[in-house]
Amino acid sequence: MSRKLPQVTRRTLDDIARDAGASEEERVAAPEPPPAGAPEPSSADSIAAPDVRRVQALALVDRFTAWSAIGGAVPLPLLDLASIAALQVQLVRRLAALYERPFSGEAVRGTLLAASAAALSAGGGNLAGMLLARSLPWGQLLNMWVSSGLAAATTQAIGRAYVLHFESGGTALDLDPATLAEHYRRALAERGSAEKGRA
């Protein structure tokens, strides 16, 4: 058959994205993990209902949790901690954009640091032990496994804490580090129970 068939569609993907008011960034079919400091897409014309937004937020937390687990498996102590910290700040940035709340990287880094210190001082023996084990040559393999799970658990705790905080009207600038530390402790305790159950 050699006859010329007419056009199937007059709208391209870009036309549809434009009609929907999507930004250039959002037209990418399969978004990669965002680089730290990437500009936020506009959500001014979002039609997300509250339930949909919460689901989007929790899906975002799940995705960053998965990336953190990968980051935690990097066997280079400083590199993995830096990449996980950057991912966690980026997660809060994305959640703040989703909930249309003001964001400051500096403020969030301060909150995360204060919460980590509080969690460590109040029973973060597992975390301290893990950090110590890094220096031992035999600890590397075990360490990759432990720190991957730990990174995932803390990222998930941060994500869930900020989702709850934003849902109740808070902003990225006013989350109490003590509240976040409580989420850390719960996440670490849950992880500990899960490991015992598996053993």
Partner 1 sequence: MGAVIAVATLKGGSGKSTVAGCLAVHWQLQGRTPALLDADPQRSLLRLAERERRLGGVAVSAPTGGPLGEEARRLAAAQGLAIVDTPGFENEQTRAAIAAADLVILPVKASPLDVDVMGDTMETLFRLRGGERPGFRCLLTQTTRDSVIARHVRGELAAAGFPLLRAELTSRVIYAEAALFGATPSLLQPRGAAAAEIAALAAELDALLPTLGAAPARKRR
The residues, any chain, with a CB within 8 Å of residue 126's CB and separated by 6 or more, are 150, 188, 192
Judged by CB under 8 A, the residue of 47, 78, 141, 199 near partner 1 is 47
DSSP state of 75: S
Binding segment for partner 1 among 31-39, 81-89, 112-120, 172-180 (CB under 8 A)?
31-39
Tell me if 43 contacts partner 1 by CB under 8 A.
yes
Judged by CB under 8 A, the residue of 49, 78, 141, 199 near partner 1 is 49
Tell me if 65 contacts partner 1 by CB under 8 A.
yes
Report which residue type is found at 72: G
Tell me if 41 contacts partner 1 by CB under 8 A.
yes
Rounded CA gap, 95 and 65, in Å?
13
Rounded CA gap, 48 and 78, in Å?
39
Q: Are 94 and 31 in contact (CB under 8 A)?
A: no
Q: Are 156 and 87 in contact (CB under 8 A)?
A: no
Q: Which is nearer to partner 1, 133 or 144 (CB)?
A: 144
Tell me if 60 contacts partner 1 by CB under 8 A.
yes
Rounded CA gap, 80 and 187, in Å?
20
Q: Which residues bind partner 1 (CB under 8 A)?
A: 1, 5, 7-9, 11-14, 16-17, 19-22, 26-27, 29-33, 40-41, 43, 45-49, 51-56, 58-60, 62-67, 94-95, 97-98, 100
